[in-house]
Amino acid sequence: MTDASTLERRLRDPVVALAGTTGERHIWRAQALNAAAQVIRGTFAQAACVGLAQGHETQGVRRENLEATLPGAGRGADVLVTGAHGDTVQRSPGADANARGVAALMEIARALREVD
């Protein structure tokens, strides 16, 4: 069980990293978009998720949709699908929807890792 202060930190830190440190993440700031993908990849790896990058190109910039699967141990055919997007529109750090959605998704992955 995660205590409240740990949960608060684990939800806050990715928002600060993505919206504050990385900032705008879109095809006109490809380096920031790639940095965000690395943060997300790292968290999924820590949660023992099996990752898959689906690459594509937009206006000459290579981008990736990241997919992570956390194999279950118990519940047969039960499947939970959830998602978030780590990019932003121009002139927005994407804290309210984008980064918070990613932070929630990361925490869901961590929590599910501990469930059989």
The count of structural domains within the chain is 1
pTM of the model: 0.77
User: Rounded CA gap, 18 and 102, in Å?
Assistant: 9
For residues 56 and 95, the answer to whether their CB atoms sit within 8 Å is no
The pLDDT of residue 53 is 82
What residue numbers bound the domain in which 50 lies?
Answer: 4-113
Residue 98 is part of a domain; what is its CATH number?
Answer: 3.40.630.10
Q: What are 8-57's pLDDT values in tens digits?
A: 998 898 889 888 888 898 889 989 988 888 888 888 887 778 877 888 88
In eight-state DSSP terms, residue 29 is G
Average pLDDT, the chain: 83
